[in-house]
Chain A
Amino acid sequence: DAGITQSPRHKVTETGTPVTLRCHQTENHRYMYWYRQDPGHGLRLIHYSYGVKDTDKGEVSDGYSVSRSKTEDFLLTLESATSSQTSVYFCAISGRLAASYEQYFGPGTRLTVT
Chain B
Amino acid sequence: GDSVTQMEGPVTLSEEAFLTINCTYTATGYPSLFWYVQYPGEGLQLLLKATKADDKGSNKGFEATYRKETTSFHLEKGSVQVSDSAVYFCALTGTASKLTFGTGTRLQVTL
Are these two chains actual partners, yes or no?
Answer: yes
Interface residues of A (CB under 8 A from B): 31, 33, 40-45, 48, 50, 56, 58, 90, 92, 94, 96-108
Q: Which residues of B contact A (CB under 8 A)?
A: 4, 31-32, 34, 36, 42-46, 49, 51, 89, 93-99, 101-104
Q: Contacts A102-B34, A102-B46 known; A41 to B94 CB distance under 8 Å?
A: no
Could you show 19 A-B contacts with beta carbons less than 8 Å apart?
Answer: A31-B97, A40-B103, A42-B103, A42-B104, A43-B44, A43-B99, A43-B101, A48-B96, A58-B98, A92-B44, A97-B97, A99-B32, A99-B95, A100-B49, A101-B32, A103-B46, A105-B43, A107-B42, A108-B42
- C-alpha gap A31/B97 in the complex (Å): 9
- A-B contacts, CB under 8 A, total: 60
Most A-side CB within 10 Å, residue of B44, B51, B95, B97: B97
**Known contacts A102-B49, A107-B43; 8 further A-B pairs (Cβ under 8 A):** A42-B89, A43-B101, A45-B99, A48-B96, A100-B49, A100-B51, A102-B46, A105-B45
Contacts of A97 in B (CB 8 A): 97
Candidates A41, A42, A100; contact of B32 at CB < 8 Å? A100
Q: Give CA–CA (A102, B64) in the complex, Å.
A: 16
How long is the Cα–Cα vector from A16 to B45 in the complex, in angstroms?
Answer: 34
Residue of chain A at shortest CB distance from B94? A99
Q: Identify the closest chain B residue to A88 (Cβ).
A: B43
